[in-house]
């Protein structure tokens, strides 16, 4: 191990990151999902690894891959699988960053054969998925817990409520109001709010730059 590596600010720190969407099965060929690409979470993982962290990246279905050997990529499909993977690693990590767009609801029953169409109207009964981030907030010891919030109204107040409800240390509020931010975009406009409700609006940036800002927040915790 060379001098450069020993000076990396996140050396010895384990970071768990969730990324991407989740797919909730309806039947063997259909699911409920969303347009999350996973880019934000993968960019955060890269930034963290570059600065010396050991990264566990738990991702729903995405086209992204990782080259970096210090990133342990665990692929999952459903919210339940993501929940189980997160709980498997949580006790062993220092920082958790939940950037996944987890489905809020899933079909109450999954048909074991392809559902055939008929002339009648058709509806699917949904039930809530587990809130992964909130479940980690409930059991956290010393872990630094970062969540995201996507809001379209009363952004700041709703994000503050999420900090409290989920017992977070920091929330990254995504502003959809600004053009070029959010799903499918290369850029993001975020506002950081910490557990003391200190609000820090950031300018529109590339997702790579937002990822670096988030990792800098983590670093400042260890200084
Ligand atoms: N989250 C999670 N598990 C869920 C739902 C959300 O871990 N089942 C996490 C997301 O990864 C994100 C944060 O919770 O870090 C906030 O997600 P968001 O969709 O903004 O909030 P919700 O709590 O789901 O509330 P709502 O969608 O009603 O605003
Ligand atoms: Ca949600």
Which protein residue's CA is at the shortest distance from atom 17 of ligand 1? 149
pLDDT at 187: 85
* Beta-carbon neighbours within 5 Å of ion ligand 2: 104
ipTM confidence = 0.99
Give 105-154 pLDDT, tens digit per residue. Answer: 999 999 999 999 999 999 999 999 999 999 999 999 999 999 999 999 99
Distance 118 CA to ligand 1 centre (A): 35
21 lines ligand 1 (CB under 6 A): no
Distance 5 CA to ligand 1 centre (A): 35
List the 95-98 sheet strands across, edge first. 71-75, 54-59, 14-19, 95-98, 144-151, 170-175, 190-194, 199-201
Percent above pLDDT 90 for the chain: 88
> How far apart (Å, rounded) are the C-alpha atoms in residues 20 and 8?
27
122 close to 37: Cβ distance less than 8 angstroms: no
151 close to 159: Cβ distance less than 8 angstroms: yes
22 close to 105: Cβ distance less than 8 angstroms: no
3 pLDDT band (50/70/90 cuts)?
low
> How far apart (Å, rounded) are the C-alpha atoms in residues 96 and 122?
40
Q: Among 18, 45, 65, which Cα is nearest to 214's?
A: 45
Q: What is the pTM of this model?
A: 0.95
Asked about 2 being catalytic, the answer comes back as no
176 lines ligand 1 (CB under 6 A): no
pLDDT at 178: 56
36 close to 20: Cβ distance less than 8 angstroms: yes
Instruction: Count CB neighbours of 121 within 10 A.
Output: 5
Work out the end-to-end distance of the chain between its first and last CA atoms, rounded to an integer number of angstroms: 23
100 lines ligand 1 (CB under 6 A): yes
pLDDT at 186: 80
**Which of 35, 132, 140, 176 to mutate to test ligand 1, by most ligand atoms within 8 A of the CB atom?**
132
Q: How far is CA 180 from the centre of its chain?
A: 20
- Does the pLDDT at position 74 exceed 70? yes
The residues spanned by each domain of the chain are 3-103+125-221
State whether CATH 3.40.1710.10 applies to domain 3-103+125-221: no
Residue from 34, 68, 72, 158 carrying the catalytic annotation:
34
Give 52-65 pLDDT, tens digit per residue. Answer: 999 999 999 999 99
Would you say 197 is a known binding-site residue? no
Element (H, E) at 21: none
200 pLDDT band (50/70/90 cuts)?
very high
């Amino acid at each position: 191990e060379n001098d450069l590596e020993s000076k990396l600010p996140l050396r010895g720190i384990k970071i768990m990151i969730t990324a991407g969407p989740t797919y909730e099965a309806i039947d063997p060929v259909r699911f409920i999902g969303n347009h999350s690409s996973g880019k934000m979470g993968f960019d955060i993982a890269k930034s963290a690894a570059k600065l010396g962290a050991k990264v566990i990246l738990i991702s729903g279905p995405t086209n992204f891959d990782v080259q970096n050997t210090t990133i342990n990529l665990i692929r999952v499909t459903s919210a339940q699988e993501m929940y189980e993977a997160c709980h498997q690693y949580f006790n062993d990590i220092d920082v958790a960053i939940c950037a996944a767009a987890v489905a809020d609801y899933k079909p109450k029953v999954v048909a074991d054969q392809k559902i055939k169409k008929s002339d009648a109207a058709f509806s699917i009964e949904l039930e809530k998925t587990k809130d992964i981030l909130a479940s980690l907030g409930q059991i956290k010891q010393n872990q630094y817990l970062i969540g995201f919030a996507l809001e379209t109204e009363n952004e700041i107040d709703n994000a503050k409520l999420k900090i409290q409800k989920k017992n977070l240390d920091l929330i990254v509020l995504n502003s959809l109001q600004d053009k070029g931010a959010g799903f499918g975009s290369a850029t993001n406009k975020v506002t950081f709010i910490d557990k003391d409700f200190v609000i820090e609006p950031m300018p529109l940036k590339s997702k790579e730059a937002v990822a670096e800002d988030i990792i800098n927040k983590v670093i400042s915790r260890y200084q």
